[in-house]
Amino acid sequence: AGDGAAAGSYGYTNSGYSVYEEENDRLTESLRTKVSAIKSLSIEIGTEVKNQNKMLSEMETDFESTGGLLGATMGRLRTLSRGSQTKLLCYMMLFSLFVFFVIYWIIKLR
């Protein structure tokens, strides 16, 4: 009877280890799947970051060229404003009169 009890308890212990091994294998596989998903996600994030950095670099170049163009335009305006103020004032008055007559003509045609 002693041998039977020992064999029975050994079988129970052995099956307990088997249950733990199966659960461990299941958890290991689950962990492996999650690590694989995280790896692919981090690769996709890295690719997206590279694309965004490239786009930002291109935008920076565009803004620099626009800034240069705007600087040149401001320089021309400064040069123009340093010129004769009378000429500039006459041009502005003539332009204003032209716009006024165009608006008056449009209203009169209605």
Residue 99 has pLDDT above 70, yes or no: yes
| C-alpha–C-alpha distance, residues 86 and 93, integer Å | 10
Residue 13 has pLDDT above 60, yes or no: no
Mean pLDDT over each residue of the chain, to the nearest integer: 82
Higher-confidence residue: 78 or 40?
A: 40
| C-alpha–C-alpha distance, residues 50 and 41, integer Å | 14
Domain positions in the chain: 15-83
pLDDT tens digit string along 50-78?
999 999 998 888 888 888 888 888 887 77
User: What predicted TM-score, i.e. pTM, was given to this entire model?
Assistant: 0.46
| C-alpha–C-alpha distance, residues 54 and 50, integer Å | 6
Give the single-character DSSP code of 83: S
